[in-house]
Amino acid sequence: MPLSADQDQYLRDHNMGVLGTGRRDGSPQLSMIIYDYDGKDVVISVTSDRAKWKNAMRQPQVALLVPDGRKQLIVYGTVEGVTETEARNAGTKRIRARMGRPVEVSDEELTAELDGNNRVILKLTPDRGFMND
């Protein structure tokens, strides 16, 4: 199990973090994100024209920092890009439900919205985590 029970619960109890990806020159790119974690993977909605998407597709090893005051969890893992309509819609629905904004439109309307905004999903599979207080 890549995450301990405490780390798993911490990740479930939060929904905002800082995603760290690697830029082309090797320097870090940090982005505030909202996520959903289901005990298996973390889904993050991004646009395909942004650096975090391009960086993650080029170099899929990423870090996710989830702070809470002085306590924090850092999750390291591998991301995959999700562009297939059904999986992308499902990831979007997860994130919106986590934010208290369930999707109230048809799948066709959601697909059109996401296509129009170049929305895709990064799916992070945790390899390991480190927590400190």
Dist CA 86 CA 31 (whole Å): 26
Mean per-residue pLDDT over the chain, rounded = 96
**For range 93-107, the mean pLDDT:** 93
- Residue 14 · residue 42 · CB < 8 Å: no
Q: What is the pLDDT of residues 42-84, one digit of tens each?
A: 999 999 999 999 999 999 999 999 999 999 999 999 999 999 9
Tell me the Cα Rg of the chain: 15
* Cβ-based neighbours of 18, under 8 Å, separated by 6 or more: 30, 31, 32, 33, 64, 65, 66, 67
pTM: 0.94
- The domain spans of the chain are 5-123
Q: Which residue has the higher pLDDT, 102 or 10?
A: 10
- The pLDDT of residue 2 is 86
**Per-residue pLDDT reduced to its tens digit, 14-34:** 999 999 999 999 999 999 999
Residue 75, judged by CB atoms within 10 A of its CB (0-12, 13-18, 19+), counts as buried
pLDDT computed for residue 106 by the predictor: 95
Among residues 46, 83, 85, the alpha carbon closest in space to that of 62 is found at 46
pLDDT at 1 over 70: no
The fold for domain 5-123 equals: Pnp Oxidase; Chain A (2.30.110)
Choose among 68, 6, 17: nearest CA to 44: 17
